[in-house]
């Protein structure tokens, strides 16, 4: 897999920050900053050769949108999806939550196009609306897939908060080694996501696979899933600070859901490592025949 350029990921974060700043300070569902964020991501994907579509839904008296982008080629009966939520809360610009997942996923998709990667599996990327209102966009997408289309999605990767300023390195516990686990196939996804961090000697801990982000609707219908996370309101323990550095007794993200979740609220090393891990996972999983 290519090394995803951190500078490119950070350029997307700067653009999302500008979009928020010129639209009342946020990129929330139903606000102009959300739609401007979607238009920004869609234009990049269209220019790179993706087939994009926008799915609309209605929630709380406002129209919400999911952006879906298909990379032409591969076995569509064996589709690997990768997604991130694009909306922020109304309190702030949402640069770690979830500009980070948005930008890292976007830059991975653009790396696929730059390399003209033609894997065995079909690749589809998604940027979800209204996650902050309760996984609304991703739930709408999964619930409205015809069963014949649902069965073609053989895996889903989710990235929500991957640049926390006092970072931990977490993988969703797909194999159930510290909780209940997920659909068959989630264990392999967890191992592939962890593999990149092994190559750079960064320890990874499990985080709950309990449906607290957009993979929830996928695992509820039995689609194997996984993802990475650098922590939200939880506090880093002293043991975790010894493992990873950073500040013990302080939240992984002190600006979680706040106005200070700006471009200053990002740890560049965490963002770079996670972006590279995402690309590694997409390359590795897309090459291996899953259901095909
Ligand atoms: N989904 C949460 C939010 O957007 C963040 C989160 C992601 C929490 C992953 C736990 C695990 O606020
Ligand atoms: Zn959030
Ligand atoms: Zn989030
Ligand atoms: Ca595990
Ligand atoms: Zn890198």
Q: Using only C-alpha atoms, what is the Rg of the chain?
A: 17
Per DSSP bridges, beta strands 170-172 and 225-229 are antiparallel
Phi-psi region of 7 (alpha: psi -120 to 50; beta: other; left: phi over 0): alpha
Instruction: Provide the 8-state DSSP code for 235.
Output: B
pLDDT at residue 211, rounded to an integer: 96
Report CA(257)–ligand 1 centroid distance (Å): 10
Question: Which residues are the active-site residues?
Answer: 131
CA distance 75 to 110: 20
What crossing angle do the helices spanning 101-114 and 6-21 adopt, rounded to 10°?
130
**Tens-of-pLDDT digits for all 292 residues of the chain?**
999 999 999 999 999 999 999 999 999 999 999 999 999 999 999 999 999 999 999 999 999 999 999 999 999 999 999 999 999 999 999 999 999 999 999 999 999 999 999 999 999 999 999 999 999 999 999 999 999 999 999 999 999 999 999 999 999 999 999 988 999 999 999 999 999 999 999 999 999 999 999 999 999 999 999 999 999 999 999 999 999 999 999 999 999 999 999 999 999 999 999 999 999 999 999 997 544 4
Ligand nearest to the backbone CA of 92:
2
Q: Answer yes or no: is the C-beta of 204 below 6 A from any ligand 1 atom.
A: no
Contact call for residues 92 and 25 (beta carbons, < 8 A): yes
pLDDT at residue 289, rounded to an integer: 57
CA distance 138 to 180: 22
Beta bridge partners of 228: 159, 171
Statement: the pTM of the whole predicted model exceeds 0.95: yes
Token pair in block for residue 74: 């591969």
Report CA(209)–ligand 5 centroid distance (Å): 26
pLDDT at residue 149, rounded to an integer: 98
Ligand nearest to the backbone CA of 26:
2
Q: What is the ipTM of this complex?
A: 0.93
Scored b (16 or more CB within 10 A) or e, 105-120 reads: bbbbbbbbeeeebebe
Number of residues written out for the chain: 292
Q: Using omega within 30 degrees of 0 as the cis cutoff, is the peptide bond preceding 98 cis? A: yes
What crossing angle do the helices spanning 6-21 and 32-48 adopt, rounded to 10°?
150
pLDDT at residue 180, rounded to an integer: 85
Residue 65 burial (CB < 10 Å; 0-12/13-18/19+)? buried
pLDDT at residue 179, rounded to an integer: 87
């Amino acid at each position: 897999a290519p090394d995803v350029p951190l500078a490119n990921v950070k350029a997307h974060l700067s653009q999302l920050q500008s979009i928020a700043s010129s639209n009342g300070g946020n990129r929330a569902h139903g606000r102009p900053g959300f739609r401007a964020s979607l238009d920004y991501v869609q234009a990049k994907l269209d220019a790179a050769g993706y087939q994009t579509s926008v799915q609309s839904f209605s929630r709380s008296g406002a129209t919400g949108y999911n952006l879906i982008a298909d990379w032409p080629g591969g076995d569509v009966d064996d589709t690997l999806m990768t997604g991130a939520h694009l909306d922020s809360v109304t309190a702030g610009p949402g640069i770690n939550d979830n500009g980070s997942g948005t930008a890292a996923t976007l830059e991975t998709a653009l790396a696929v196009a730059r390399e003209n990667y033609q894997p065995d599996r079909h690749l589809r990327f998604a940027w979800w609306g209204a996650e902050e209102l309760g996984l609304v966009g991703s739930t709408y997408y999964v619930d409205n897939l015809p069963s014949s289309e649902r069965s073609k999605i053989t895996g889903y990767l989710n990235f929500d908060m991957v640049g926390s300023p006092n970072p931990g390195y977490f993988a969703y516990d797909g194999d159930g080694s510290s909780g209940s686990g997920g659909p068959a196939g989630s264990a392999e996804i967890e191992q592939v996501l962890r593999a990149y961090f092994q190559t750079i000697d960064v320890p990874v801990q499990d985080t709950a696979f309990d449906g607290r982000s957009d993979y929830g609707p996928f695992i509820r219908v039995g689609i194997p899933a996984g993802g990475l996370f650098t922590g939200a309101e939880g506090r880093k323990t002293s043991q975790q600070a010894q493992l990873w550095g950073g500040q013990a007794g302080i939240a992984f993200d002190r600006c979680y859901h706040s106005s200070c979740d700006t471009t200053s609220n990002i740890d560049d090393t965490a963002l770079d490592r996670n972006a590279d891990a995402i690309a590694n996972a997409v390359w590795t999983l897309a090459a291996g025949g899953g259901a095909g």
